[in-house]
Amino acid sequence: MNDLRLALLQCESMPGDVAANMRRLAQACEDAADAGAHLLVTPEMFLTGYNIGRAAVAAFADGARHRERVEAVAAIARRHRIAVVFGHPERVPGGGVANTAVCVDAGGQLLGRYRKTHLFGDLDRDMFSAGAGDEALFDVLGWNIGMLICYDVEFAENTRRLALQGANLIVVPTANMVGFDFVAQHLVPTRAYENQVFVAYANFCGREADLAYGGLSCVAAPDGTVPARGGRLPALVMADLKSEALVEGRRRLRHLADFRGMRDAGR
């Protein structure tokens, strides 16, 4: 497994302006690739904005528009030779709309998608249907990668499920608000520590309608340390993920290896 250079795009939301967000993504990909990054992770619902309302989410989830956005990001990834994780709404069977994260590789090929499983408050529930959480891991440079979205990482079962499936990096596109700094400052490093995985948390900053986002995008290592963290302002947060840190974390910490599972509950 090769070492992986990771970039997190922390930025303000530009709701409803897909063309502008595509331009910002292209620039971020160029900057990240020039800095040697192999993978760029953007915030939750980056391409369309997050707090945009039910009608806008439904319109953006239209199948043709959805496919056009994926194809456009794939072209950007190919041009800059960097894998990209990005978010937008997606129409799902049964007529609902999912809050979806998608990964394309440096050649523009679709690697994986994930639909948010835990909906946060009335804002999420009014716009989205919950995903099943059954998406497969995917590979970038030998790293087994799983995805969660924002609130999902606040449930320990989600990161443990991915770790048991063999994930060694979990990426989390996020739209987390001021007032919930505990998540980025303490909970994300704890999720990394208790599962001996890397966790990458990419958040918005600034305001979007009535929401104020907290920034603090971070990468947490398998020993719970935080090798990279953003502040409150827009930034491209870079981190080098070392395969040896994964090996050492799993040698020294044994939570994942010693986990006995629900079959042992109560014994």
150 is known as an active-site residue = yes
What are the residues whose beta carbons fall under 8 Å from the beta carbon of 247, sequence distance 6 or more?
none
Catalytic residue among 29, 116, 194, 218: 116
Residue with tokens 């995903």: 131
In the annotation, is 218 catalytic? Answer: no
| Residue 200 to residue 229: CA distance in whole angstroms | 10
Nearest to 247 by CA among 143, 136, 139: 143
Distance CA 167, CA 147 (A): 9
Q: Which helix (H) or strand (E) holds 191?
A: helix 188-195
Which entry of 11, 29, 103, 150 is annotated as an active-site residue?
150
Alpha helices (H) in 51-135, listed in sequence order: 54-60, 63-80, 121-127
Phi, psi of 2 (to 5 degrees): -80, 155
- From 29, 44, 90, 208, the catalytic residue: 44
Evaluate whether 193 touches 205 at the Cβ level (below 8 Å).
Answer: no
Question: In the annotation, is 242 catalytic?
Answer: no
Catalytic site residues? Answer: 44, 116, 150
